[in-house]
Amino acid sequence: MKVTIVGAGAVGASCAEYVAIKNFASEVVLVDIKEGFAEGKAMDLMQTATLNGFDTKITGSTNDYSKTANSDIAVITSGIPRKPGMTREELIGINAGIVKEVSANLIKHSPNVTLIVVSNPMDTMTYLVHKTTGLPKNKIIGMGGALDSARFKYRLSEALECPPSDVDGMVIGGHSDTGMVPLTRLATRNSVPVAAFLSDERLEQVAEDTKVGGATLTKLLGTSAWYAPGAAVSGLVQAIACDQKKMFPCSAMLEGEYGLNDLCIGVPVILGKDGLEKIVEIELTDAEKAKIKESAEGVKKTNGLLDV
């Protein structure tokens, strides 16, 4: 199993580390445009192999896509991250060109690859890859909801004063400060609805803290987060590589599902060896449907800025 990660920066390197530590891939190739950077990150990570007990071979390349040939899965994290006070949508001007070029280069050398798009604004970058590459629909997946759901569970565990492993929950909708839809109604602590323990006001606070999870970290760090993003992507890579048939909220191209068309937005999907194998349609309340519709309008507005 060969995995390529383009962008050896904060998220790309974190993803490579988690993929290696989980020890399911034979090879991880890191690619970056910055001279020597991917090679350096790969060597540093390889020197953790005996410490962390993995056999994955990690190599680096400065923009030489021949090294990525025949990748099964490729992750796109190349591009700029936001700074405090910015929205993800403001990154479109620079990141659209990078994502378009990188996805074309990847497919040239790996025509059967499954692409996982991470660069922001992620839903729009995923849509761009759909519109410009000609890859089948099941082979293009946007990562956002897995991260947002992890943050939702963290915030719920804080409110419940319980370990995060006690909590289950999911965030759907756009990966943006206003577009996320944390499904508080369906969140549980050991199968008991969280509403049994928390007031409506506290749950609303959890949802709002979840939605600005990325912005909160960007303010603290001066750039956007990488540990949870890297871990979230590695979970998607593993589900596909190991044909796990696991369910994650991912940005998927919708053709009528949830009443939406011609956009990529976060919905529950099944990931396995064929990539995005199924979109799962769950029953939503009218209020949840209204939130998804509003979120989709925001994503479509950003998509409108693309030259596709």
Cβ 301 to ligand LMR shortest distance, Å: 18
Residue ranges binding ligand NAD (CB under 6 A):
6-12, 31-34, 37, 77-82, 91, 95, 98, 101-102, 118-120, 122, 143-144, 147, 175, 223-226, 229
Task: For residues 132 and 292, give the distance between their C-alpha atoms in angstroms, rounded to a whole number.
Answer: 26
Helix (H) or strand (E) holding 28: strand 27-32
Q: CB under 5 to 8 A by kind: which of ligand NAD, ligand LMR, none does 119 bind?
A: ligand NAD
Strand partners, 40: none
Instruction: Judge residue 283's burial from the number of C-beta atoms within 10 Å of its C-beta, 0-12 exposed, 13-18 middle, 19 or more buried.
Output: exposed
Total Cβ atoms within 10 A of residue 133: 17
Active site residue 109: no
Out of 155, 175, 189, 211, the active site residue is: 175
Q: Which of residues 78-117 bind ligand LMR (CB under 6 A)?
A: 81-82, 88
Helix (H) or strand (E) holding 62: strand 57-62
- Taking the least distance from each CB to ligand LMR, the nearer of 153 and 189 is 153
Interface residue with ligand LMR, options 119, 157, 218, 234 (CB under 6 A): 218
- Taking the least distance from each CB to ligand LMR, the nearer of 172 and 241 is 172
- Taking the least distance from each CB to ligand LMR, the nearer of 61 and 302 is 302
Q: CB under 5 to 8 A by kind: which of ligand NAD, ligand LMR, none does 218 bind?
A: ligand LMR
Whether 257 contacts 284, CB under 8 Å:
no
Instruction: Judge residue 27's burial from the number of C-beta atoms within 10 Å of its C-beta, 0-12 exposed, 13-18 middle, 19 or more buried.
Output: middle
Instruction: Judge residue 80's burial from the number of C-beta atoms within 10 Å of its C-beta, 0-12 exposed, 13-18 middle, 19 or more buried.
Output: middle
Q: CB under 5 to 8 A by kind: which of ligand LMR, ligand NAD, none does 138 bind?
A: none
Q: Which of residues 222-261 bind ligand LMR (CB under 6 A)?
A: 224-225, 229
Cβ 219 to ligand LMR shortest distance, Å: 10
CB-nearest residue to ligand LMR: 214
Q: Which residue's entry shows tokens 């995005």?
A: 276
Task: For residues 205 and 69, give the distance between their C-alpha atoms in angstroms, rounded to a whole number.
Answer: 47
Catalogue the active-site residues: 175
State the residues that interact with ligand LMR by CB under 6 A.
81-82, 88, 120, 147, 175, 214, 218, 224-225, 229
